[in-house]
């Protein structure tokens, strides 16, 4: 029979502890909530009150239930108050010596049968456990932020944790309405091991002025459907906590440079910029603890200020190419009211392209998303051509031909001769350096990357890539055009993977390496990222959709450009590609799709 947990203790009522208290109290468990001092206790109490009041305001919690919840919580300063609890969860700052001290003390104070749990994100549960005389009753219970919302709990067993203790804690998680994955004691467990390299990389992008904070966050939200961008997430986690987690993972996890905290992070922590909890981190908040972002000196001006940056007027747009991307891009521009000159290689290709665009627009009408008159107007704005000469009077050219440098370079050399001065020339390349394309013309200042996502009419994001030769006016023009298209244009430097792929694919590759190391299963890893981080798909689901060959090609390029050892493609990924297990399109990837 599973052990009864009628009273639990929570030590440390910061970002995580206060949320953990709420989780237990909401589920009918009495809680002894402990802090180091009266002021800290008051802060913890205030956090709990704010959170439950918000739940009441949102209609998610009845007033009577909130009051009952608060009755179940007893606040106290000092660990002595924990003498009769059945289980303790420790959620103090991420320092091994501090946690060891607290566990030694808990061992003295608590009943001999009490389970002692740590919410550590990256420290060794084993090392914490040996500070007690009962390491077999010590376990990791890793909640996710915010604890009342996120469904996942990682249950971490050490080599000495008793099997009954693991089973009892698993049953407890179920009672709390959580989904648990039980894993061994390794730095970062599942979710953080896959998350923190990505977060640190995003911070490095800010530090190197690769892209603005808003653009990095928008790119990951709109390009990958993540619930929040990496920098907003860093602010939620707390920069001090994130720093400690990275530092521990770096030291414990094989000194992967990607986990070495970016210097900017340390500077921000030293300066007291800790994220939401201090009212200022990567963003500025209404007040400490508030989720509401307020403008600060780094907030970009509204888009109508684009003109001030010298954005050029664009009325007529040339689109070169006849593949999937060109088809979508022609449609997007025509629907947004631009006059479009579509140039394909030969009349036959032009006719096929025209049909594809007509079909797609017609589908919009059938689905009730587009009026017939608007469809006809959009089609009326497109002229179909098989010669580049028709681009002589356009204001913007978007090139979406085959992903081959020599082909794109030849095209840009021709555009140089045909187009009028002042035209913005854009390439949709997803993997070639934009500067290599730009230098094929004599006007590199006018060349930008416009990286649309597939399907272009649906995806809300466009990456605007500026090279070291791109003029501010060309960048401003590209960004303004994106806004007119109803898309968010994010500006970034000309490096492999731009923002989205550079941040996404190393994470996917890391998930493959984790599977390869038999640390966990594809199902548990997918679960962990969906339920712990709110991702719309787990890494293996996503890899099967994207195509393993595509993922491998992107990962190889990132590795070749940046020479980051951690970016080396996972051997398992290479083998699956070699074996023809490419994902859904091959009916088999990480999973078998032959029955769907």
The residue ranges that bind ligand NAD (CB under 6 A) are 11-17, 34-36, 40, 91-94, 102, 119-121, 142-143, 145, 237-238, 241, 245, 277
**Is the preceding omega at residue 384 within 30 degrees of 0, hence cis?**
no
The Cα-based distances of 425 to 153, 329, 446, 448 in angstroms read 50, 15, 6, 6
Beta strand pairing call for 293-294 and 284-285? antiparallel
| Phi, psi (rounded to 5 degrees) for 202 | -65, -40
Give the residue with the Cβ less far from ligand NAD, 217 or 399: 217
Q: Which residue has the tokens 């290479």?
A: 574
Closest by CA position to 379, among listed 337, 422, 429, 345: 337
Active-site pick, 35, 90, 154, 331? 154
Q: What is the DSSP string of 318-379?
A: EEE--SHHHHHHHHHHHHTT-EEEEE-SSHHHHHHHHHHHHHHHHHHHHTTSS-HHHHHHHH
Q: For the packed helices 571-578 and 500-516, what is the interaxial angle rounded to 10 degrees? A: 90
Give the residue with the Cβ less far from ligand NAD, 9 or 328: 9
Give the residue with the Cβ less far from ligand NAD, 109 or 332: 109
| Sign of the alpha-carbon torsion through 120, 125, 131, 134 | positive
Q: How far apart are CB 204 and ligand NAD at their closest, in Å?
A: 20
d(CA 72, CA 284): 35
Give the residue with the Cβ less far from ligand NAD, 273 or 326: 273
Give the residue with the Cβ less far from ligand NAD, 233 or 317: 233
Closest by CA position to 411, among listed 428, 356, 393: 428
Active-site pick, 51, 119, 121, 520? 121
Active-site pick, 22, 94, 129, 142? 142
151's tokens: 């469904």
**Active-site residue flag, 154:** yes
Give the residue with the Cβ less far from ligand NAD, 34 or 55: 34
Q: How far apart are CB 175 and ligand NAD at their closest, in Å?
A: 20
Q: How far apart are CB 34 and ligand NAD at their closest, in Å?
A: 6
Residue pair 439/467 in contact by the 8 Å Cβ criterion: no
**DSSP 8-state symbol, 245:** H
**Summary count for the chain: helices (H), strands (E):** 23, 18
Is residue 89 helix, strand or coil? Answer: strand
Is residue 588 helix, strand or coil? Answer: strand
Q: How far apart are CB 452 and ligand NAD at their closest, in Å?
A: 34
Q: How far apart are CB 12 and ligand NAD at their closest, in Å?
A: 3
Closest by CA position to 11, among listed 89, 69, 104: 89
Q: Which residues pair with 492 in a beta bridge?
A: 465
**Active-site residue flag, 441:** no
d(CA 526, CA 514): 12
**Residues listed for the chain:** 596
Question: Within its chain, how far is the Cα of 359 from the centroid?
Answer: 34
- CA angle centred on 44, ends 40 and 49, rounded to 5°: 145
Which residue, judged by CB position, is nearest to ligand NAD in the bound state?
A: 14
Is residue 112 helix, strand or coil? Answer: coil
Give the residue with the Cβ less far from ligand NAD, 143 or 498: 143
Residue pair 133/107 in contact by the 8 Å Cβ criterion: yes
Active-site pick, 119, 122, 145, 192? 192
**Active-site residue flag, 342:** no
Give the residue with the Cβ less far from ligand NAD, 524 or 557: 524
Q: Where are the beta strands (DSSP E) in 332-379?
A: 339-343
Give the residue with the Cβ less far from ligand NAD, 12 or 281: 12
Which residues, 6 or more positions from 55, have their beta carbon under 8 angstroms from its beta carbon?
61, 66, 148
Q: How far apart are CB 144 and ligand NAD at their closest, in Å?
A: 6
Q: How far apart are CB 268 and ligand NAD at their closest, in Å?
A: 15
Q: Which residues are catalytic?
A: 121, 142, 154, 192
């Amino acid at each position: 029979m599973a052990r009864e947990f009628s009273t639990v203790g929570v030590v440390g009522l910061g970002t995580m502890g206060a949320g953990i208290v709420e989780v237990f109290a909401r589920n009918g468990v009495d809680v002894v909530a402990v802090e180091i001092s009266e002021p800290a206790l008051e802060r913890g109490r205030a956090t709990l009150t704010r959170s439950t009041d918000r739940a009441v305001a949102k209609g998610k919690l009845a007033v009577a239930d909130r009051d009952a919840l608060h009755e179940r919580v007893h606040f106290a300063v000092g660990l002595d108050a924990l003498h009769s609890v059945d289980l303790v969860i420790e959620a103090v700052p991420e320092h091994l010596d501090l946690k060891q001290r607290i566990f030694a003390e808990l061992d003295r104070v608590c009943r001999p049968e009490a389970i002692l749990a740590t919410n550590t994100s990256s420290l060794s549960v084993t090392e914490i456990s040996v500070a007690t005389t009962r390491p077999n009753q010590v376990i990791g219970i890793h909640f996710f932020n915010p604890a009342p919302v996120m469904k996942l709990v990682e249950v971490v067993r050490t080599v000495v944790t008793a099997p009954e203790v693991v089973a009892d804690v698993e049953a407890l998680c179920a009672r709390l309405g959580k989904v648990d994955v039980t894993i061994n004691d390794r730095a970062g467990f599942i979710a953080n091991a896959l998350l923190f390299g990505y977060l640190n990389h995003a911070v490095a992008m800010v530090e190197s002025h690769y892209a603005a904070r808003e653009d990095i966050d928008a790119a990951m939200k709109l390009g990958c459907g993540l619930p929040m961008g990496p920098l907003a997430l860093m602010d939620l986690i707390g920069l001090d906590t994130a720093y400690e987690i990275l530092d521990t993972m770096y030291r414990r996890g094989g000194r992967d440079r990607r986990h070495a905290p970016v210097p900017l992070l340390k500077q921000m922590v030293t300066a007291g910029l800790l994220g939401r909890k201090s009212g200022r981190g990567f963003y500025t908040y209404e007040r400490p603890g508030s989720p509401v972002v307020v403008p600060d000196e780094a907030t970009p001006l509204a888009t109508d200020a684009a003109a001030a940056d010298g954005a050029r007027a664009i009325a007529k747009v040339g689109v070169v190419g006849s593949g999937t991307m060109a088809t979508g891009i022609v449609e997007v521009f025509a629907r947004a009211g631009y006059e479009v000159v579509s140039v394909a290689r030969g009349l036959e290709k032009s006719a096929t392209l025209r049909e594809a665009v007509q079909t797609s627009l017609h589908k919009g009408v059938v689905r009730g998303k587009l009026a017939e008159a608007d469809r006809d107007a959009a089609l009326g704005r497109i002229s179909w051509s098989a010669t580049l000469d028709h681009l002589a009077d356009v204001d913007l050219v978007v090139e979406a031909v085959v992903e081959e440098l020599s082909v794109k370079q030849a095209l840009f050399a021709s555009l140089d001769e045909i187009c009028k001065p002042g035209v913005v020339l854009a390439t949709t390349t997803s993997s070639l350096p934009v500067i290599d394309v730009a230098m094929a013309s004599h006007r590199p200042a006018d060349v930008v990357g416009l990286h649309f996502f597939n399907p272009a009419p649906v995806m809300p994001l466009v990456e605007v890539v500026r090279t070291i030769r791109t003029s501010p006016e060309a960048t401003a023009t590209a960004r303004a055009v994106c806004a007119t298209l109803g898309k968010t244009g994010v500006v970034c430097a000309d490096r492999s993977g731009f923002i989205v792929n550079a941040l996404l694919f190393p994470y996917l590759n890391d998930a493959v390496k984790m599977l390869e190391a038999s640390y966990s299963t594809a199902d548990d890893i997918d679960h962990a990222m969906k339920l712990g981080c709110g991702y719309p798909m787990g890494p293996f689901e996503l890899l099967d959709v994207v195509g393993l060959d595509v993922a491998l090609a992107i990962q190889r390029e990132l590795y070749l450009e940046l020479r980051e050892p951690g970016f080396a493609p996972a051997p398992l990924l290479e083998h699956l590609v070699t074996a023809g297990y490419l994902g859904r399109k091959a009916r088999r990837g990480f999973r078998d799709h032959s029955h769907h």
